[in-house]
Structure 1
Amino acid sequence: MTMTAIGAFLFGIAIIGMLDGIVFHQILQWHSVNMHTDRIHQIMSDGYFHLLVTVVMFASSILLWKGDPKEPPSGFWGCFFLGAGAFNLVEGILNHHLLQAHHVKPGPNQVWFDISYDVFAVLLLAVGWMLYRRKTAA
C-alpha cells in the first residue's frame, strides 16, 4: 500500500470518527463512549475519543501530504471509504454488541439502531472496495 492509500484510509477513520462524535455524542446526545458512568466521565470519555481522532487526522494529513500526487482519485476515495467502513464496523461490533459499552440509541429499539449502524458500515466498505478495485484495474 502506498502512503497515499494509508493516509486516505486513516483520513476515512478520522472523518467518520469525528462525525460519530459530533452527531451521535454532541448534537443528538444519544450516547457517549462510556455510558456506564456519571455525566462528567461520559464527557471525558468523549473528549479522549475526540483527541484520538484528532491524532489520527494529523497522522493521515502527514501521509497524504507526503504521498503520491499522481494517485488516481478513485484510489483515494476507495481507501477513504474503506477506512470509514472499517472503523464503523469494528466500533459497532466491539462497542455495541460485544462490550455493550454503549448503543447507537439506547432504548426499546436499540438493537435496530445498532444493526442499522453495522449495515451502513458494510455499505461504506462496499463503496470503498468498488472504488479501490476501479483504481487497481486502471
Structure 2
Amino acid sequence: MATKNRNRKNNSNNKKRSEYKSRNLLSGFLFGVGLVAFLDEAIFHQILHWHHFYDKSTTDIGLVSDGLFHAFSWFATIGGGFLFADLQRRNMLWLTKWWGGVLLGAGTFQLYDNIIQHKLMRIHQIRYVDNLFVYDLIWNISALIMIIFGFSLVVLRRNKQESGNAIS
C-alpha cells in the first residue's frame, strides 16, 4: 500500500515538475518577445526614425500603430515577468531553461518580424534605402543566432540531471 502511495506521489510530483518546466520556457519566451519588440520599437521607431509599425498610411496612423506595438511589447514583458516571479516564489525557476526561452522568444519574434511583416505583409521595412539586403541579412542572422543559442540552452537543461531543486 505504501508503495502505491509513493508511486502516485512521484507521478504527481513529476507532472508538476513538467508543468513548471513548461512555465519556465513560456515565461522566458514571453519576456524575450516583449524585450526584443520593445528594443525594436524604441531604437528603430523612436530614436532612429527608420520606420513605424504600419507605414502604409499617414504619419499619425504610424504613430498610433507604434503605440499599440509598444503596448503589446509591454504586456508580453510584464506577463513573462509575472510568470518569472511566480516560478521563483514556488522555488521552481530553472534559469537555464528560462534564458533559453528568452533567446527563443527574441529570435523567433525578430525572424517573424522580418519574414512576415517586412517581406510578406510589407507593412514596413527595416529601413527605407535602396539596398535592404545587408539590413535583412544582419536582422535574420542575429535572429537565427538567438534561436540556436536559445534552443541549445533548452536542450542542455533537458539533458542535465534535473533531480535536484530548481535554481532560485
- TM-score, length of structure 1 as denominator length: 0.93
2:145 corresponding residue in structure 1: 123
For residue 71 of structure 1, what is the amino acid of its counterpart?
L
- Of the three residues 55, 58, 76, the one matched with 2:98 is 76
- Of the three residues 65, 74, 80, the one matched with 1:54 is 74
For residue 101 of structure 1, what is the amino acid of its counterpart?
I
Over the aligned positions, Cα root-mean-square deviation in angstroms equals 1.4
- Of the three residues 58, 65, 73, the one matched with 2:85 is 65
Partners in 1 of 2:38 and 2:113 — Cα distance?
13
Percent sequence identity over matched residues? 26
**Superposed displacement of residue 71, structure 1:** 3.1
- Is 2:84–2:93's contact at 8 Å kept on the other side of the alignment? no
For residue 43 of structure 1, what is the amino acid of its counterpart?
L
1:101 corresponding residue in structure 2: 123
- Of the three residues 136, 139, 149, the one matched with 1:114 is 136
**Superposed displacement of residue 137, structure 1:** 1.2
**Superposed displacement of residue 70, structure 1:** 4.1
- Aligned residue pairs: how many? 138
Structure exhibiting the larger radius of gyration computed from Cα positions: 2
Partners in 2 of 1:77 and 1:101 — Cα distance?
30
Stretches of structure 2 lacking an aligned partner (at least 5 in a row): 1-20, 161-168
For residue 85 of structure 1, what is the amino acid of its counterpart?
G
- TM-score, length of structure 2 as denominator length: 0.77
